[in-house]
Amino acid sequence: MAGDTMIVILEAPLGSDLYQRALSLREDILRRPLGLTVTEAERSDDAMRQHFCAVEYGKVVGTVSLRPLDETTLHLKQMAVSQANRASRIGSRLMTHAEVWAAEAGFQLMIAHARIGAEGFYLKHGYAQEGETFMEQTIPHIRLAKTLIHRTLI
């Protein structure tokens, strides 16, 4: 199990090596198990997002991206953590980093579309369920939202 001191959260600029490795992790965790691949439309959408990844000794072990919906709302997308690192609180660290970054950038609301079965992670982090389940990427999801509180990145 990885300790917090070994993990760093970094920005992954579009097109960078770090971004490419994060994209590969997203595909491995979020698409391949569904028989899908990251589409060209999704790659184009990536240009509209802020990307972050968790790195352990040079290896990308987690990723998340944020897409502005308007001046006050961000859509948290593509949260993925490698299977071997799921018990290491990397998802929680990525979530906290994303929320702090968003609040510091002036955003007030974060929304997410969670796969059914993963919604507990978001609920544990203060998100509230909105509406009914819907289909996305061939599987059921639920929309969740959280009002952001301004905090400072450490």
> Is the confidence at residue 152, as pLDDT, over 80?
no
Interatomic CA distance for residues 75 and 131, integer angstroms: 16
Which pLDDT value is given to residue 2? 43
- The per-residue pLDDT for range 47-60, each reduced to its tens digit, is 999 999 999 999 99
> Is the confidence at residue 40, as pLDDT, over 80?
yes
Count Cα neighbours of 66 within 13 Å in the Cβ-side half-sphere.
26
Taking the domains of the chain in order of start, what are their residue ranges?
4-147
- The per-residue pLDDT for range 70-91, each reduced to its tens digit, is 999 999 999 999 988 888 899 9
Which pLDDT value is given to residue 128? 97
% of the chain surpassing 90 pLDDT: 76
> Per-residue DSSP letters for the chain?
---GGGEEEEE--TTSHHHHHHHHHHIIIIIGGGT----HHHHHHHTTSEEEEEEETTEEEEEEEEEESSSSEEEEEEEEE-GGGGGGTHHHHHHHHHHHHHHHTT--EEEEEEETTTHHHHHHTT-EEEEEEEEETTEEEEEEEEE-------
The rounded mean pLDDT for the chain is: 91
pTM metric for this prediction = 0.88
> Is the confidence at residue 13, as pLDDT, over 50?
yes
Report, as an integer, the average pLDDT of 123-145.
94
4-147 topology per CATH = Aminopeptidase (3.40.630)
Two tokens, residue 112? 């997410």
Which pLDDT value is given to residue 86? 84
Residue 141 φ/ψ region, left for φ over 0, alpha for ψ in the -120 to 50 degree band, beta for the rest: beta
